[in-house]
Structure 1
Amino acid sequence: MRMEPSGWRILLLCNQLPGIIGTTLLIFLPESPKYYLSIDDQEKAMKVMERVCRMNKGKDVTLKSLGVESLTQARLRPPNEERGQCHETKVLMVKYGKVIWFFFFIFFTLTGLGFALPIWMTRIRVLTSTFGDRNTICEHMEHISAQLSGDKDCHLTYEQMKDPLIHGCVVLCLFIATSVFLIWLSRRAVIIAFVCVSILGCVALNFMEHPALILISFFAIIDPLICSVRLAGSLLIDCVPTHLRGKAFALITMIGRSGVLITSVYVGYTLSHSCYVTFNTFIVVLIVCGMLVYWLPTHFKHSSFTN
């Protein structure tokens, strides 16, 4: 599949549209009433709730007509709390250090494997399709480096690019299925179940030989982890006070992106040197991730956990 330079420019422009639309919508999105309460601004919190009330109940309905005179929330910080340049980061890493370190590892694993492996999935599938015989991925990789060392061209056809298209459809369907799962199961249970599916996918890649089964094994590893990232983020919201959530999300997002980079480099190195180490190491990492998710505090046990 060959694309002209102008085609790549159009593709890049299309990729910018969701970000532009999202940024525009953020301009009209009000701050959370919980945030205003956390900074001791009752007046602005009431205005936002008034706006939400009118949107949900109708223009003639007000908070006063519903009997709401004021707002409050649990775990409000003191209004005169002293701040420094790195005050929020210090509070997170000291008072909520245990839960933050749990989320560091969880997001490193979920984001790293979920967003780095799709790139290698396509690369591995292209390399293994070069040979007609059916072997496991690691058996293929033992012979690929020597035979393709002088070939620097990468020729992609539509047949080889169908995997990412199928992958996108599978992820979309799994997101829809996740919404259904949450009707009966807790977020914690769904994440742990998804991690278990990913572990089975890693185990399967050690011996799967049929190309379709290899592709399904990759989907089993990647897609549940992608769907678990947002669920894990919602668990973080329960464990961190409102005024610290922005800082907490910034830190775990940074760790998650580091996970993507490190995972990509790790896969590229181990596949060519010790292929069986690659996915078996992921099994250990995913087991630890599932255990940490299980040990995360519930909303009601938050105080005892941080203490």
Structure 2
Amino acid sequence: MVAKLNKVAFEDALTMTGFSKFNYYVFLLCSSIIMGMSFEVYSVSYLVPASVCELDTSSSQQGLMAATPLIGIIATSHIWGYLADTRGRKKVLCTSMFLGFITGALAALSPNWIVFSVLKLCSSSAVSGCFALSISLLSECTPVKRRNTLILLTSSVFMSCTGIMAVVAIPVLRLDFSYHLPFLDIQFNSWRLLNLIYTIPCAISSIGLLFAYESPKYLLSVGDQANAMKILREIFAINNAKDGDLYPVNSVVLEEDQAANIEGFWASIKAQTVPLLRPPLLFNTLILAAMFVTVYLSINPFIVWMPFLVDNFMKSIQGGADGLSFCEMMRAAQNDTETHVIETCALNNTAMILVFATGMVLAVISVFMSMLINCLGRKNLLIGLQVFAGVSALCLNFSYSWILSAILFVGFISGTLNFGLLSSFSVDLFPTYVKAMGVCLTLMVGRGSGVFGINLVKNLLDSNCEVSFYIFGSIACLGGVIGFLLPSDKKLSDRNKLV
């Protein structure tokens, strides 16, 4: 008979379950969820330029189409965070992924750009909370010693998504077929097929979530001790290949503030939101929101338009451009496109390969960072990466070598790796009963700035490209300065010991 411990702190109880198969399964599931969300939100980077000829969209309309997913995310992130904190991570994620698949697939049948934008608004609204909720689920199922590493590895998944989407787009967009659908009066062609392919991860994730466990920490936070213990025993059994009855814990306590029982929908939303907007959580909310704004506003727009930028970059090189700055190469490619209108709907294959390579390089860097995070510290990595990205953008206009320009551009967008670092701070700085809401709320503020940035970048690239890199590079550097206000890992660890 195994001696059972009573009233064990949750983090200690989770550590006693071990780290093995179950944790890898959860990481793969959360990676699939993040991939589904990324494919749905960033698919516009490939679908908008590929659909230009058929949908006959102007530059401003393309900007609206590209920004629509972020608008959907802003509109509903708060709701998904509330639902996850009151209904559970698993149930909300499963519903979200299923709705994202259905509405995303319907976008493939859009007769015009307005219907396409509305359906993308619906699909992005459906998956808007998935990144934050999957991070919450992953963190609440992972022992603290491995938590930061796994969360940071989600950045690798996120960055690889851009590259995977580019590789998928190359053969699909080259397919030469067109089937008339009389009931919609549209031609079903390659870009519509690509849209359908991009929805597959959402479908896979929704199925995978049916077989997943709820977060034991969430169950404990809502007072469901019995089911929390049941899941912890099952995690122990999976990780150690032993009978769950051998798990040496009999009862668990959650050593943090818990939600009060509130009746009524609006009263419940208020109860989940107000703690984030008053001390002691207000400072954390403001700092994380400011950090997400600097990352989303400065770097995310260039991620969205990266296929467009790299496409023009390669067209300029293949056109014989030499001794030009990055922005001069953009203008040269645009002028050439206006002369050869037939090419406006085609994405350069070499450019797509470069997008893939860029995504993979950043994914590898993220893996390398996950190995260094415990040595260098999250705060130091975040500040260094943010400043490096900003300086790279500021220097880009002074480079007249296409090789150096390419390196500086990749250095600039490498700042997107801070999404993972910021997410790891989010799950540590907010207590369980408002964690999903806190992560969703701060992400929502950042993504709101991203909508503005996407449209501004597109207009600046057409009118005054150089200014765009000065503005957004400066904002990225500002994020590095704000990063000094974040707590260090040691301070967080000491605080958790006192809780």
Q: d(CA) in 2 for partners of 1:265 and 1:29?
A: 39
Aligned to 1:73: 254
What amino acid maps onto 1:24 in structure 2?
A: I
Aligned to 1:238: 428
Q: 1:94 aligns with which of 275, 278, 281?
A: 278
Distance (Å, rounded) in 1 between the aligned partners of 2:221 and 2:474: 40
The structural deviation recorded for 1:258 is 2.4
Question: How far, CA to CA, are the matches of 1:195 and 1:289 in structure 2?
Answer: 6
Pair 271,78 (structure 1): closer, same or farther in 2 beyond 3 Å: closer
Q: Is the 8 A contact 2:296 2:450 kept in 1?
A: yes
Deviations 1:246-293 (A, max 9, x none): 112222332333233222212123334443332122232122212222
Instruction: Give distance in 2, aligned partners of 1:164 and 1:269.
Output: 22
Aligned residue among 376, 384, 394 for 1:185: 376
Query: Any idea what SS the aligned residue of 1:86 has?
Result: helix
Q: In the superposition, relative to structure 1, how do residues 119 and 212 fare at CA in structure 2: closer, same or farther (>3 Å)? A: farther
Superposed, which structure 2 residues align to 1:38-57 within 5 Å?
Answer: 38-57=221-240
Q: Partners in 1 of 2:307 and 2:269 — Cα distance?
A: 44
1:249 partnered with 2:439: yes
Task: Return the alpha-carbon distance in structure 1 between the equivalents of residues 485 and 441 of structure 2.
Answer: 20
Partner SS for 2:305 = helix
Pick aligned residue for 1:135 from 315, 319, 324: 324
Verify the 8 A CA contact 2:216 2:231 in the aligned structure 1: yes
Q: Does 1:219 align with 2:410?
A: yes
CA distance in 2, matches of 1:13, 1:73: 43
User: Contact between 1:136 and 1:208, CA under 8 Å: does it hold in 2?
Assistant: yes
Which residues in structure 2 correspond to 1:126-205 (within 5 Å)? 126-127=311-312, 129=316, 130=319, 132-140=321-329, 153=342, 154=344, 155-205=346-396
Answer yes or no: is 1:21 the counterpart of 2:211.
no
How far apart, in 1, do the equivalents of 2:308 and 2:192 lie? 23
Separation (CA, whole Å) in 2 of partners of 1:181 and 1:146:
45
Are the counterparts in 2 of residues 178 and 227 from structure 1 also a CA contact under 8 Å? no
Q: 1:36 is matched by which residue type in structure 2? A: L
> Which is worse superposed, 281-290 or 239-248?
281-290
Q: Structure 1: which 5+ residue stretches go unaligned?
A: none
User: When the two structures are superposed, what TM-score results if normalisation uses the length of structure 2?
Assistant: 0.54
CA shift in 2, pair 1:57/1:228, >3 Å:
same
CA contact (8 A) 1:111 1:256 kept: yes
Which of 283, 287, 296 is the aligned partner of 1:111?
296
Whole-angstrom CA distance in 1 between matches of 2:240 and 2:304: 47
Residue in structure 1 matched with residue 131 of structure 2 by the alignment: none
Residue type matched to 1:263 in 2?
Answer: G
Structure 1 SS opposite 2:394: helix
CA contact (8 A) 1:199 1:283 kept: yes
Return 114-123 or 24-33, whichever deviates more.
Answer: 114-123
Deviation of 1:244 (Å): 0.5
State the Cα distance separating 1:71 from its structure 2 match.
Answer: 0.6
* CA distance in 1: counterparts of 2:369 and 2:465, whole angstroms: 32
Q: How many residues align?
A: 300
Aligned to 1:283: 473
Displacement, 1:174? 1.7
TM-score, normalising length: structure 1: 0.84
Equivalents in 1 of 2:464, 2:495: separation in Å?
A: 42
Alpha-carbon displacement from aligned partner over 1:105-146 (angstroms, at most 9, x marks no partner):
222232344432134344344445156232213445677777
CA contact (8 A) 2:325 2:400 kept: yes
Q: How does 1:286-297 map to 2 (within 5 A)?
A: 286-297=476-487
Find the aligned partners of 2:356 and 2:261 in 1 and give their Cα distance.
53
Q: Which amino acid aligns with 1:115?
A: N
Residue type of the alignment partner of 2:400: E
Give the drift of 1:171. 2.2
**Within 2, Cα distance between the matches of 1:69 and 1:37?**
14
Aligned CA distance change for structure 1 residues 209 and 20 (closer, same or farther; 3 Å): same
> Structure 2 regions of 5+ residues with no counterpart?
1-172, 179-188
Tell me if structure 1 keeps the 8 A contact 2:272–2:434. Answer: yes
Alignment of 1:3-14 (within 5 A): 3-4=175-176, 5=178, 6-14=189-197
Residue-by-residue CA offset, 1:189-244 (whole Å, 9 max, x unaligned):
2222211221231122121122222221111111x323221221111111100011
Aligned amino acid, residue 214 of structure 1: S
Contact map agreement 1:122 1:163 (CA 8 A) in 2? no
Rounded to whole Å, the distance in 2 between the matches of 1:271 and 1:138 is 8
State the partner residue of 2:64.
none
- The verdict on how the C-alpha distance between 1:156 and 1:17 changes in structure 2, with shifts beyond 3 A counting, is closer
Maintained 8 Å contact 1:197/1:221: yes
Report Cα offsets for 1:54-78 as digits up to 9, x if no partner. Answer: 1122332426x52x22111221326
